[in-house]
Amino acid sequence: MKSLKSLVITSLLAAGLAGQASAVNTTAFIHIVGAPAYRQNSNDTITAVVATFGATAGLTATTATANTVSAIESAKQNQWKIPNYTSGVDLIINASYTGSTSGFESVASAGAGGVTQKFIADGTGTVATPTVGASATAVLTPDNTWITLSDTYQATTIFNGLLTLFGGPGNTLPFTHNYQPLNATPLGVEPYRFVVSPGAPAGFTNINAVQAQALFAAGSLPLAFFTGNNADEGTTVYALSRDGGSGSRLVALTETGYELPGIQNAIVTYKPTVTGGTLDSANSRVSGAIASGTPPAYPVGVIPSTGVYDGNLGDVGYPSFGTTDQTGLLLAITSSHPANELFVTYLNIDDSNEAAAAGAKILTYNGVTYSSSAVAEGNYTFWSYEQLFAPATQSSAAGSFSNLLVNEFPNHAAVPLSSLNVARSVDGGAIGTLY
């Protein structure tokens, strides 16, 4: 998918090349959390950095089900090992992509009873024989070995300063943290696109910011609102969205003007009943069938990646884009549906390409078709910065590895910073020229 394909997994996973680290070596860790929206870019970057340490370094465990480049770069959890990263030190890199917002929640609360996240257990497997299909069940508490690769600014989230949140209904399970400011390093640009489910009429080709605002606020609107054709009044368009742990959700809501950075407004999104489906090349379930009848609003509950209880009916949203089971947003947006229903959501470029391959239609935004040049020149505005965020008290191993990621990332960014002729200072903010 990216330039990583020339590198490869074959060298990282070669049998018999397990690292022979000295028995006196200590093990250091770096834990990476953040955005599923650019996990492909991130996994490619990490793999490329690890490959520079030679044949004894490589992947040790992955939740992917195959040792292919596309499977591993799309995996939500991966783990790598670099024997003798520095003199007397082996390094374990453990990545888990649950969402930008949840990444900020965890890393910014490190050292203050931080919010736990699930990873593959530290040290699982060996370089020569990676554990494939590993479950991400180890619950770890953040410390100064953690960084987050996020597609929003920290200021866009609520995780700034002293904050009390609730982990259950009725405000009975409060937890309070003082969320520290994190140091940011821009890496690249993450574009997004709106998509509509298969079978959308030829007249539904575009969505603008005002229409998107109205859709998220109401949850459903007549198709005629988007097409201008009175004959479409009988079809309803329903909103689908990620949950509050997702940076993609914050980017979509700030870009369309539905939210201001740091202020979260409830939306209305749905959870249609979906059956069937097949696994695509990225191991995401797609192309199921949606049950007839009005889809239910997304139920209230605890957001899995943040542990925060959301009591607003219809606001919680999907915990993941692509999954192997029936819980993914990609499955819902690519499934066949009743004749009088359509669904709309937002996806990054990789996931929207997956959706299109499964029959969904990509919409233009504000009348502009996405392209890297349209982003670079400021014509296409539905994008955010890919950034690396770390605490000021970052460990030496985490800090040095972070620098390697920053240097390598431009080779794998969806849109490299060097190609950008415009800039913005806040998610969803005005775009200005660099010259």
* Residue 58 confidence class, pLDDT cut points 50, 70, 90: very high
Cα distance between the two ends of the chain: 32
Task: Report which of residues 1 and 122 the model is more confident about.
Answer: 122
The residue assigned the tokens 């995401």 is 284
Mean pLDDT of 319-347: 95
The beta-carbon contacts of 70-73 under 8 Å, at least 24 apart in sequence, are 70/1, 70/281, 70/282, 71/282, 71/283, 72/9, 72/43, 72/47, 73/1, 73/2, 73/4, 73/39, 73/40, 73/43, 73/44, 73/47
Contact 23, 88 (CB under 8 A): no
- The Cα 207–Cα 211 span in angstroms is 6
- The Cα 362–Cα 380 span in angstroms is 14
Among residues 78, 117, 120, the alpha carbon closest in space to that of 101 is found at 117
Q: What pLDDT score was predicted for residue 12?
A: 41
Contact 419, 376 (CB under 8 A): yes
Structure tokens at 332: 């819902």
Contact 102, 118 (CB under 8 A): no
The residue assigned the tokens 């603008």 is 208
Q: What pLDDT score was predicted for residue 13?
A: 39
Q: What pLDDT score was predicted for residue 435?
A: 62
- The Cα 42–Cα 35 span in angstroms is 9
Residues 234-263: pLDDT tens digits? 999 999 999 999 999 999 999 999 999 989
Mean pLDDT of 172-178: 85
Structure tokens at 76: 């939500």
Provide the CB-side half-sphere exposure for 173 (13 A, CA).
8
Please state whether the predicted TM-score (pTM) of the whole model is above 0.85.
yes
Residue 366 scores a pLDDT above 50: yes
Q: What pLDDT score was predicted for residue 2?
A: 44
Mean pLDDT of 330-338: 97
Cα→Cα distances 405→72, 152, 233, 401, 420, Å: 17, 18, 50, 6, 20
3-state SS of the chain is CCHHHHCCHHHHCCCCCCCCCCCCCEEEEEEEEECHHHHHHHHHHHHHHHHCCCCCCEEEEECCCCCCHHHHHHCCEEEEEEEEEECCEEEEEEEECCCHHHHHHHHCCCCCCCCCEEECCCCCCCCCCCEECCCCCEEECCCCCEEEEECCCHHHCCCCEEEEEECCHHHCCEEEEEECCCEEEEEEEEEEEEEECCCCCCCCCEECHHHHHHHHHHCEEECHHHHCCHHHCCCEEEECCECCCCHHHHHHHHHCCCCCCCCCCCCCCECCCEECCEECCCCCEECCEECCCCCCECCCEECCCCCCEECCCCCCCECCCCCCCCCCHHHHHHCECCCCEEEEEEEEHHHHHHHHHCCCEECEECCECCCHHHHHCCCCCCEEEEEEEECCCCCHHHHHHHHHHHHHHHHCCCEEHHHCCEECCCCCCCCEECC
State the CATH class of domain 191-376: alpha beta
Residues contacting residue 399 through CB under 8 Å, at least 6 positions apart: 390
Ranking 104-113, 270-279, 365-374 by mean pLDDT, the lowest is 104-113
Q: What pLDDT score was predicted for residue 301?
A: 95
Q: What pLDDT score was predicted for residue 11?
A: 40
Residue 335 scores a pLDDT above 80: yes
User: Which residue type occupies 175?
Assistant: F
Phi and psi for 142 in degrees, rounded to 5? -65, 145
- The Cα 247–Cα 34 span in angstroms is 9
Residue 156 scores a pLDDT above 70: yes
Q: What pLDDT score was predicted for residue 175?
A: 86
Q: What pLDDT score was predicted for residue 115?
A: 82
Residues 14-57: pLDDT tens digits? 333 334 444 589 999 999 999 999 999 999 999 999 999 999 99
- The Cα 67–Cα 411 span in angstroms is 22
Contact 384, 251 (CB under 8 A): yes
Ranking 55-59, 260-264, 360-364 by mean pLDDT, the lowest is 260-264
Average pLDDT, the chain: 91
Task: Report which of residues 144 and 110 the model is more confident about.
Answer: 144
Q: What pLDDT score was predicted for residue 282?
A: 80
Residues 369-428: pLDDT tens digits? 999 999 999 999 999 999 999 999 999 999 999 999 999 999 999 899 999 999 999 999
Residue 292 scores a pLDDT above 60: yes
Residue 170 scores a pLDDT above 80: no
Q: Where are the domains of the chain?
A: 3-189+384-433, 191-376
